[in-house]
Amino acid sequence: MELIFWVIAAYGMSNILVYGSIFDGIRESIHKNAETNIIIISPIFKFLSGLISCMMCTSTWVGFFMSLFFSPFTAYFGLHPGFGIFFDGMLASGGVWMINSIVEWFEENRG
- pLDDT, position 41: 87
Once rounded to an integer, what is the mean pLDDT over residues 106-111? Answer: 84
Residue 73: domain span: 2-108
Q: Render pLDDT for 48-71 as a digit per residue (tens, 0 to 9).
A: 999 999 999 999 999 999 999 999
- pLDDT, position 6: 97
What does the alpha-carbon distance between residue 107 and residue 62 come to, in Å, rounded to a whole number? 24
Of 100, 71, 99, the C-alpha closest to 85 is: 71
Q: Render pLDDT for 29-46 as a digit per residue (tens, 0 to 9).
A: 999 999 988 888 889 999
Q: Render pLDDT for 67-88 as a digit per residue (tens, 0 to 9).
A: 999 999 999 999 999 999 999 9
Domain count, the chain: 1
Of the two residues 18 and 109, the one the predictor is more confident about is 18
Q: Which contacts qualify for 71-80: CB closer than 8 Å, 24 or more apart? A: 72/2, 72/3, 72/6, 75/2, 76/3
In Å, how far are 34, 41, 47, 80 from 31, measured between CA atoms?
5, 12, 10, 36
pTM of the entire predicted model: 0.90
Please, what's the b/e burial string for 33-63 (b: 16 or more CB within 10 A of its CB; e: otherwise)?
bbeeeeeeeeeebbebbeebeebebbbbbbb
Provide φ and ψ at 83, rounded to 5°: -70, -35
Neighbours of 68 (CB within 10 A): 10
